[in-house]
């Protein structure tokens, strides 16, 4: 009979934490990676800013703009900027394209408050913007926090004004008020969903009138200030895309600085590793692609979301340019749907199933299926593909774990995985465990971030 300890090591899963498995060189690399990521997160508060930050990173590594129909060559490095809101970056491998493309697809939109088409008003001598929230938020979390305004306004003459207010230390910020507890009796009796209704997410933008005449109110003053600085008039709001996001900077958390709090980890914490891994695996023989998609938080629709035809258009154009069979290219392509999962929260153990929840510092999380109820809306990756991906991680000593999004029947969620796998591509979800997902200030661990980067590198080289 074998010794039980020996047999246990041979047969059972050993729970690992990333910190125990990293050597000193990796710990150093992890810190450098985290510092680079924090800079990216602070520069990329919106999908448009994430595209810009992604392009800046790629340009340094020799990536060039690509247009549909362009010739491409082996070893060539390209990026396709889809309307400034989604990014497709790829390097052509030395092997035939028909062997398939290694794709990492993350999303760069995050829950936020968008301005309505007619946002500007005043009430009680305070100036406001009306908003319509985007993505799944707990509305009460967005009151009484510093907010910044980002986006673009396209003027009548077609010129585009880019706006970013509230990020610099000496910028003003914006604010949503909440009721004081002294007068909150009725509000506090409501459910958390109803305590702050969507129509109360109105943003305070100022409080002084233009002058004391009957025409010279706060609304006019706010518009005058915007006109002075950006040359815009009220009509321009009708077509503008202005997004209100938390003004917090990403910060290290804890005495040991092992965690990072930030806005929009979901899913820039996977977008950054996807781009970095592409840029850092030049030695791969495969054609490798990193996708930063828009609109995931609202169902991946629109021409910048993952359901847009542009994804297949690019693959088809590459197939034509390199003389490959497009259908074989799709069939042999492999994809990591790079998205976050809900980390086990010891403060709320009741929503997780502890044997199958991912944990902070457990490494990158492989999520075979998402969905809700009986896996409804899920990609549910095949055993063959999951085992293949896992073998690459084990080969390269990537610290990884499996995860389910909460208890069965507790809720659920989806990712871009189903939209890519429906194109006849093998896809599995992979990403970083997050605490307080979709909150204005989310939490992740440096070890999981670094493990995710290493997992994408292993996949690209696989």
Residue pair 44/150 in contact (Cβ under 8 Å)? The answer is no
x/- contact string, 213-252, with Mn ion (CB under 5 A)? ----------------------------------------
**For residues 96 and 302, which CB has a smaller minimum distance to Mn ion in the complex?**
302
Range in contact with Mn ion (rule: CB under 5 A) among 158-166, 181-189, 336-344, 442-450: 336-344
How many amino acids of this chain bind Mn ion (CB under 5 A)?
A: 3
**For residues 167 and 266, which CB has a smaller minimum distance to Mn ion in the complex?**
266
Give me the least distance between CB of 299 and Mn ion, in Å please.
Answer: 11
Write the burial class of residue 229 (CB in 10 Å: 0-12 exposed, 13-18 middle, 19+ buried): exposed
Residue pair 209/217 in contact (Cβ under 8 Å)? The answer is yes
Give me the least distance between CB of 240 and Mn ion, in Å please.
Answer: 24
Closest CA relative to residue 415, chosen from 451, 448, 371, 449: 371
Give me the least distance between CB of 302 and Mn ion, in Å please.
Answer: 16
**For residues 99 and 402, which CB has a smaller minimum distance to Mn ion in the complex?**
402
Range in contact with Mn ion (rule: CB under 5 A) among 41-49, 178-186, 333-341, 449-457: 333-341
**Angle, vertex CA 365, rays to CA 364 and CA 368, nearest 5:** 145
Give the contacts of 72 (CB within 8 A, at least 6 positions apart): 66, 78, 92, 318, 321, 322
Print burial letters for 94-128: b (CB count within 10 Å at least 16), e (below 16): eebbbbbbbbbbbbbbbbbbbbeeebbebeeeebb
Q: What are phi and psi of 55, to 5 degrees?
A: -65, -40
Give me the least distance between CB of 344 and Mn ion, in Å please.
Answer: 18
Give me the least distance between CB of 296 and Mn ion, in Å please.
Answer: 6
**For residues 317 and 404, which CB has a smaller minimum distance to Mn ion in the complex?**
404
| CA 302 to each of CA 257, 298, 418, 458: distance values in angstroms, whole numbers, following the listed order | 39, 10, 16, 32
User: What is d(CA 393, CA 385) in angstroms, rounded to the nearest whole number?
Assistant: 13
Q: Please give the residues from 352 up to 371 whose contact with Mn ion meets the rule CB under 5 A.
A: none
Range in contact with Mn ion (rule: CB under 5 A) among 259-267, 282-290, 317-325, 363-371: 259-267
Range in contact with Mn ion (rule: CB under 5 A) among 28-36, 254-262, 335-343, 419-427: 335-343
Radius of gyration in angstroms for the set of CA atoms belonging to the chain, rounded to a whole number: 24
**For residues 47 and 339, which CB has a smaller minimum distance to Mn ion in the complex?**
339
Q: Does 122 bind Mn ion (CB under 5 A)?
A: no
Counts of helices then strands in the chain (DSSP H, E):
13, 22
Write the burial class of residue 11 (CB in 10 Å: 0-12 exposed, 13-18 middle, 19+ buried): exposed
Q: Does 429 bind Mn ion (CB under 5 A)?
A: no
Give me the least distance between CB of 431 and Mn ion, in Å please.
Answer: 8
Give me the least distance between CB of 274 and Mn ion, in Å please.
Answer: 13
Give me the least distance between CB of 432 and Mn ion, in Å please.
Answer: 10
**Residue, CB closest to Mn ion:** 267
**For residues 46 and 287, which CB has a smaller minimum distance to Mn ion in the complex?**
46
Neighbouring-strand partners of residue 106:
292
Q: Please give the residues from 83 up to 102 whose contact with Mn ion meets the rule CB under 5 A.
A: none
Give me the least distance between CB of 107 and Mn ion, in Å please.
Answer: 6
**For residues 267 and 317, which CB has a smaller minimum distance to Mn ion in the complex?**
267
Q: Does 267 bind Mn ion (CB under 5 A)?
A: yes
Give me the least distance between CB of 453 and Mn ion, in Å please.
Answer: 17
User: What is d(CA 450, CA 364) in angstroms, rounded to the nearest whole number?
Assistant: 8
DSSP result, 113-153: EEEEEEEEEEETTEEEEEEEEESS--GGGGSSS-EEEEEEE
Among 49, 294, 339, 404, binds Mn ion (CB under 5 A): 339
Residue pair 248/443 in contact (Cβ under 8 Å)? The answer is no
Q: Does 266 bind Mn ion (CB under 5 A)?
A: yes
Range in contact with Mn ion (rule: CB under 5 A) among 77-85, 156-164, 262-270, 272-280: 262-270
DSSP result, 230-269: H---GGGGGT-EEEEEE-PPPEEESTT--EEEETTHHHHH
Give me the least distance between CB of 265 and Mn ion, in Å please.
Answer: 9
Q: Does 109 bind Mn ion (CB under 5 A)?
A: no
**For residues 49 and 339, which CB has a smaller minimum distance to Mn ion in the complex?**
339
Closest CA relative to residue 97, chosen from 264, 437, 333: 333
Please give the residue ranges that form the binding site for Mn ion (CB under 5 A).
266-267, 339
């Amino acid at each position: 009979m074998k010794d039980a300890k020996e047999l246990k090591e041979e047969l059972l899963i050993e729970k690992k934490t990333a910190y125990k498995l990293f050597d000193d060189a990796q710990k150093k690399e992890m810190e450098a990676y985290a510092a680079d990521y924090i800079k990216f997160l602070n520069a990329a508060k919106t999908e448009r800013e994430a595209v810009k930050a992604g392009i800046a990173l790629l340009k340094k590594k020799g990536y060039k703009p690509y247009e549909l129909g362009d010739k491409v060559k082996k070893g060539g490095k390209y990026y396709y900027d889809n309307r400034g809101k989604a990014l497709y970056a790829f390097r052509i491998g030395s092997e035939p394209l028909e062997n398939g493309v290694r794709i990492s697809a993350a999303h760069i939109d995050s829950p936020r408050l968008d301005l309505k088409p007619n946002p500007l008003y005043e009430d009680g001598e305070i100036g406001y913007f009306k908003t319509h929230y985007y993505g799944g938020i707990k509305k009460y979390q967005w009151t009484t926090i510093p907010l910044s305004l980002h986006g673009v306004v396209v003027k009548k003459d077609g010129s585009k004004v880019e706006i970013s207010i509230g990020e610099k230390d000496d910028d003003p910020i914006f604010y949503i008020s909440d009721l004081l507890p002294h007068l909150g009796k009725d509000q506090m009796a409501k459910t958390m969903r109803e305590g702050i209704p969507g129509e109360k997410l109105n943003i305070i933008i100022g409080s002084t009138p233009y002058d004391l005449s009957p025409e010279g109110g706060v609304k006019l003053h706010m518009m005058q200030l915007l006109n002075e600085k950006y040359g815009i008039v009220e009509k321009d709001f009708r077509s503008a895309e202005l997004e209100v996001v938390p003004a917090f900077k990403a910060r290290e958390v804890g005495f040991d600085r092992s965690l990072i709090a930030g806005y929009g980890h979901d899913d820039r914490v996977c977008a950054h590793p996807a781009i970095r891994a592409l840029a850092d695996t030049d030695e791969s023989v495969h054609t490798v692609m990193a996708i930063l998609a828009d609109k995931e938080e609202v169902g991946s629709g629109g021409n910048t979301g993952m359901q847009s035809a542009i994804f297949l258009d690019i693959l088809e154009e590459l197939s034509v340019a390199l003389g490959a069979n497009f259908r074989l290219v799709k069939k042999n392509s492999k994809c990591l749907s790079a998205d976050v999962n809900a980390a086990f929260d010891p403060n709320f153990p009741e929503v997780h199933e502890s044997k199958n929840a991912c944990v902070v510092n457990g490494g990158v999380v492989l999520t075979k299926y998402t969905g809700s109820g009986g896996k409804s809306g899920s990609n549910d990756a095949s055993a063959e593909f999951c085992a293949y991906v896992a073998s690459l991680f084990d080969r390269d000593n990537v610290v990884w774990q499996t995860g389910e999004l909460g208890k069965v029947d507790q809720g659920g969620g989806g990712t871009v995985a189903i939209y890519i796998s429906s194109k006849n591509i093998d896809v599995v979800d992979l990403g970083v465990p997050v605490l307080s997902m979709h909150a204005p200030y989310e939490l992740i661990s440096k070890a999981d971030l670094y493990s995710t980067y290493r997992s994408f590198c292993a996949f690209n080289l696989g």
